[in-house]
Structure 1
Amino acid sequence: MSRRSFALAALLLAGAALGIGGAARAQLLPSLPISGLPVPLPHAVSGLPAVGDLIRGLSGEERSAATVPSLDRLGVGPTVGEIGRDALAELRRLRLAELVRGNPRTLDVGPNGAPVRRGVLIAIDPTEVQLRAVAAAGFVVETREDFGGLTSVTLRVPANLSAKAAMRRLMAAAPGLTADYDHVYEPAGGALLPMMGAALATAAPPPMPAGRTIVMIDGGVAAHPSFAGAAIVQQGFAGPAQPTGHGTAIASLLVGRDGLFRGAAGGAKLYVADVYGGSPAAGSASAIVRALAWAASKQPDAISISLVGPSNLLLQRAVAILARRGIRMAAAVGNDGPAAPIMYPAAYPGVTAVTAVDARDRALPEAGRALRLDYAAPGSDMAAALPGRGYAKVRGTSFATPLVAARLAAAGSGQALEREALKGSGRIGRGILCRTCRTDPKIVGAK
C-alpha cells in the first residue's frame, strides 16, 4: 500500500469493512471513492508518527472522503485513539473547514475556524438605543425572539462583509452591546460503522419510573420497529424535522424496545427537537436555543444533547435559565480527543458532562477534554437502531449521553445518581452510569 493510501486508511480507521455492503448500512453511509484497501485495515496506526503531515498530503478527493461531515457518518472510527492528539485535532480542523467549504452560501468562518451562519450576528438583550446605533451602521433586524427573560435579536449584516468583519463593525457601532456569532454545532457521534469486538454479557437496563419525559436535541428520528410502542413527538427547528442516522440511534438508546434490544428509558415519553432539518450545515446556536425553550415547555425530567461546538453567549444564557429552573441536561464532551478545544454545551455550569467507556469500562481515548467531567456511560461495543430497520455498532460520546440522560430522569436526587456510579479506568468523572444499558451487537445482528 502506498504511503498516501495508508494515511487515508488510518483516517477512515480500521474496524470497518469498506466496500462490504449491507442494505441497512447503505441507508446511512455514502460509498467512498477508495479501492484496494485491506479489510480489516491495519491495526498499527500508531506507527504513523506524522499523520498530520500525511493528511495535508492527500488529494482533494481523498481528503473529502476522510473528513466530509455527515449526520450519519460522523467523526472518525474505533481506533481513533491510536493516531495521536495532533492528527485528531487536524482531522477536526479539516472536517470543519470542509463543512464551510461545502456550504458557502449558508456558512462562514468565525474565530478559531468555527463554522458560523453567514450573513447574521446575534444581539443579546439589546436596548433600543443600541438597535438604532447598529441600524445606522447598516445592520437590519431580521428576527426578535424572547426566551423567558432572554431576548435574542438576529441581525442581518451589511452586504459583502465577512462574519468577523461584521462583528468588528457591530462592536464599533454599539460598544456596550452583547453579541455573538450564530455558531454551528456538530453531532458528537462517532462513525456509524461496523466495529470489531468480543461478545458481551447482556443485562436489562435499570428500571425507568412511570410517567417520565425526556427531550433529545439532535437530528430527526426515522421509523424503526423498536419504536412501535414508544411515544415520540418531533418538532423541527431548522425547517421540518428530517430523519437522520444519528438521531435515530440516539432515540433508540432512549426509548427503543425490540426483542433483546432495550433502550435505557423504555416507557418514557420522548420529545425530539430536530435542529438540523437534514443538513449538517444547520444546527446553529439560535436553533438550539429555540429547541431548549420548546424543551422547557414540556417540563422534562431530563434533556439529552449529543451536540458539540464552541462557547456561545446566547446558548450559555439559555442553558443558565434552564439550570436555574432545575431542568437536568446531559451533553457529550465530543470525540476529537484531548488536543481539541473544550466543547459546549457540556462545559457550561448546570449541564452534566458525559464521556464514554468501552465494554471493559475504559474511557474512550478519543473522548474530548472538559472543564469538568461528571459521568461516563457505555459508548462503544454496543448496538443502536438504523433508520428503517436493523442495528449498527456505534461508538462515541454521543451514544453515552442518552444513557446518562435516562438515569438523570430516573434518579430522585444527585446523591442517588452518585450511588449508582461504578468504577472504571481512565477519565470517567464520578463513575460509570447505566453500565447494563449496553446491548450486545451480536444478539441483534448489528452491522
Structure 2
Amino acid sequence: METIVILGGGAGGLELATRLGDTLGAGKRARVLLVDRNPGHFWKPLLHTVASGKCDPRVEELSFPAQAMEHDFEFIQGEVLCMDRAHQTITLAPRKHSGSDGVCRTIAYDKLVLALGAVTNFYNVPGAADHALTLDSVDDAETFRRRFIDACIKAGEQKTQVDVVIVGGGATGVELAAELSNSARALAAYRVHTLNPETDIRISVIERGQHLLPQLHPQQANRAARQLRSLGIDVLTGTAVAQVTADAVIDAAGIAHRADLTLWAAGVEAPQLCATFGLAVNNLRQIVVDSSLCSTNDSQIYALGDCASYVCPIKGAAPPRAQVAHQQAMFLADLLSRRSGTPRPDFRYHDYGSLVSLGPQTAVGVLTGAVTGKSIRVGGATASLLYQLLYQKHLLNLHGTARVITQALVDWLRAKIVPPVKLY
C-alpha cells in the first residue's frame, strides 16, 4: 500500500491524519502515519489559557495513540532529524525512554505532508531570545504560568510588585493579557499570593503598530484597548522594542519598561527544520507550495498550516491562523484520497472572520459570509459565545457530535467543582 506520512500533529496535521485514516486507512487503501515529538495534541490557539492557569492541559490534551486507534491511522512519537528526498525517507532521533538502544529510526514514505507549525519570531531583537518567554508549546505555557505564580508569591513576601510585559498586540498577546488579569484576581481570592491585583500586579502590552489586533477594524481594536485598560492593563501602541534584558524591555525611544516576566508574542516563523529539507522556502522559512499545496520542487511533498507559504492569486498570502490549517487539511484529505491520474484541484482560502477573547464574558471580532463576502462586526457576550464555539468546532472535526456533547457536559460539571484557575 501507499504510505502517507504526516509530520506534525497540530490543528491541521491531526485533522488530516484523522480524515485520511477514516477514508484510506479504514478502507486499506493506504497506510497513514502521523509523526510528532509529543504524545498528545493541544489546540494552539488556547495556549494563552494554559499560561494564565484557566485551562489544565492534562485535561484538554488529546492522546495521539487513542486518536490513531479510533480512526485507523498509525502514530509514532519522535523528533525529526532529517529527510532524504532521493530515497523518500525521514530519520527520527533515538527514543528517549529508558532501555532505548540509541539508534535512529528511518521511515519511508510515498507521499509526505509537512505540518510542522510555527515558532516565535524574535526579529533579531537583541536579548529577546535569551530573556523573553514564548507560547510555542504547552511546556512553554506551563513555564510562564509557574513563573508568574512564583513571582507573585515572592513579591508578596518582599512587599514589592510584579511587572509583566507582553510584546505583541495581536490575538495571542491581547488574549493572554486579559486572562492573566483575571487569573491574578482569582489567585488573590484563593490567597495563593498576598498582593493587591489592582495595584501590585502590572501588566503591559507593547505593540509596534498604531492599533492592537491589526486583523480587525480600528474601531474594534480601540474597543479591545479600552477593555484591557478597564482591567488595569497598560496598552502601549506605536512602540517598537529595541532590546530585552533580564529585567526590562527597552523601547526604541530608550524608555525601559520594568519586567519581572517578558512574554514575546510579536510574530511567528517556520521552524529551522524546514530550511534543512532542500525545498524552496520564503524569508520566514515557510515551504513554498503551489495551488495544490505541493512543494514547488518535489511533487511527493505537501505542506499545510503555518509552515507553508501559500499565496492566493486573489487574497494574497494566507495568514498563520487555525482556520487556514483547517481548510488546507480538508483540501488535502480530498486530494490525497483521489485515484492517481485524476486532475488536481486548486486550493482557495476563504476568510470567515476572526474572533479575539477579552476575558471570560466578552470578545470582539468580525464574521465574513462565505457567499456574500460581507463582514459583520460582533462583540460582547455574543462574540464570546462564538469564540467558545470555535474550539468545539475543532473537536467536532476530530471526534464527531456524540463525543463532543459528552465532553461539553463533563467540562460543565468539572467547572462546578474545581477552582477557575490552577492554584499551584
TM range (shorter): under 0.3
**TM-score of the pair, normalised by structure 1:** 0.25
Which of the two has greater strand per residue? 2
**TM-score of the pair, normalised by structure 2:** 0.26
